[in-house]
Amino acid sequence: QQQVKQSPQSLIVQKGGISIINCAYENTAFDYFPWYQQFPGKGPALLIAIRPDVSEKKEGRFTISFNKSAKQFSLHIMDSQPGDSATYFCAALGYNAGNMLTFGGGTRLMVKP
């Protein structure tokens, strides 16, 4: 059962544009929602994370929007740069559900110069 669904699978954005990646979850026990960035041949690196008691969190060009009632959250990358080209994974974790991360399927982002 895929508990975290991510879309789109791939995304092409022009330099300076906004990249938007969406995720939906099913398990209401989840209470921590991170986004990871992964470059080829590397392990995932934490980008930004949110807890369900806030609806939005911004760090630099990266913003998470969270909708608890809809069980959805999204990543917005403002002023997208070619260096942002990577695979992005949303994830979810429940402190009372084992502390393991459940990942979405990933979005391959390409930012064209």
Partner 1 sequence: DTGVSQDPRHKITKRGQNVTFRCDPISEHNRLYWYRQTLGQGPEFLTYFQNEAQLEKSRLLSDRFSAERPKGSFSTLEIQRTEQGDSAMYLCASNARDRGETQYFGPGTRLLVL
> Which residues in this chain contact partner 1 in the complex, by CB under 8 A?
4, 6, 32, 34, 36, 41-46, 49, 89, 91, 93, 95, 98-106
Q: Which is nearer to partner 1, 11 or 17 (CB)?
A: 11
Strands (E) in the chain, as ranges, are 4-7, 10-14, 19-25, 33-38, 45-50, 56-59, 62-67, 72-77, 86-92, 102-103, 107-112
> Measured from the CB atom, is 20 or 49 closer to partner 1?
49
Closest contact distance (angstroms) between CB of 97 and partner 1 is 10
Q: What is the largest CA-CA distance in the chain?
A: 44
Taking the complex as a whole, the smallest distance from the CB of residue 111 to partner 1 amounts, in Å, to 20
